[in-house]
């Protein structure tokens, strides 16, 4: 039996919104959360350009929650700590392109689309079958962290 997923936002006008979700994405939930926080509220084309620049390491993502021991990066408006989460940005860009395709299918004008909801949530943690040797004849398993990402677009 497969799980039934829903969206965390309800009560949206289906004629003006388009949704897309990425489930069981193999990237860090913490990094995905920071990328989603950075693109929330952006226009669609601006967000795609921003994520492409993050993947190319030209633009840093400000880290607002998970910021301990983070290096300072130039080009962050009103913020100092940041990183270049390439893997998370790549997967979120994929989900964003899916949401754009859904919006085009629904007949929305892609020039006037804005991201109204972008969130990343913890998915399941899977054991990879490998073990790290520890002291005193012990071992701990390697884990694989999965992430769920939701993006909702709205035509303004």
Which CATH number belongs to the domain containing residue 63 in this structure? Answer: 3.90.470.10
Supply the Cα-derived Rg of the chain in whole angstroms: 18
In a domain, 6, yes or no: no
pLDDT for the residue numbered 68: 87
Residue 125: inside a domain? yes
Beta strands at 17-25 and 113-133: parallel, antiparallel or unpaired:
unpaired
Is 4 within a domain? no
Q: Would residue 5 count as lying in a domain?
A: no
CA distance 86 to 94: 12
Is 3 a domain residue?
no
Decide if 7 is inside a domain.
no
Sorted by sequence, the CB contacts under 8 Å of residue 103 that are 6+ apart come out as 18, 110, 113, 153, 155
Given a cut of 80, whether residue 47 has pLDDT beyond it is yes
pLDDT, residue 137, reads 94
Is the pLDDT at 104 greater than 90, yes or no? yes
Q: Is pLDDT larger for residue 2 or for residue 26?
A: 26
* pLDDT reported for residue 76: 86
At 57 the three-state DSSP class reads coil
Residue that has been written with the tokens 């399941």 in this structure: 124
How far is C-alpha 50 from the geometric centre of its chain's CA atoms?
Answer: 13
For residue 144, tell me if it sits in a domain: yes
38 neighbors 62 (Cβ within 8 angstroms): yes
Asked if residue 11 belongs to a domain, the reply is no
pLDDT tens digit string along 54-87?
A: 999 999 999 999 888 888 888 888 888 999 999 9
Domain span at residue 60 reads 18-155
CB 32 within 8 A of CB 120: yes
| Tally of domains within the chain | 1
Q: Tokens standing for 146?
A: 């999965």
> Which pLDDT does position 1 carry in this prediction?
66
Both tokens of 88, joined, read 């998370």
- What's the whole-number mean pLDDT along residues 103-127? 96
pTM: 0.91
Percentage of the chain modeled with pLDDT above 70: 99
**Is the confidence at residue 149, as pLDDT, over 70?**
yes
The pLDDT value given to residue 146: 96
């Amino acid at each position: 039996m497969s799980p039934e997923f829903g969206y965390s936002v309800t009560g949206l006008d289906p004629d003006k919104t388009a949704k897309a979700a990425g489930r069981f994405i193999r990237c860090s939930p913490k990094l995905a959360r920071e990328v989603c926080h950075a693109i929330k509220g952006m226009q669609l084309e601006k967000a795609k350009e921003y994520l492409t620049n993050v993947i190319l390491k030209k633009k840093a993502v400000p880290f607002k929650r998970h910021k301990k021991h983070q290096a300072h990066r130039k080009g962050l408006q009103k913020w100092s700590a940041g990183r270049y989460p390439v893997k998370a940005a790549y997967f979120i860009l994929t989900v964003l392109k899916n949401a754009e395709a859904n919006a085009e299918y629904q007949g929305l004008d892609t020039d006037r689309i804005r991201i109204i909801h972008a969130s990343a949530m913890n998915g399941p943690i899977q054991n990879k079958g490998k073990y790290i040797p520890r002291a005193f004849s012990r071992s701990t398993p390697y884990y694989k962290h999965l992430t769920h990402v939701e993006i909702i677009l709205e035509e303004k």
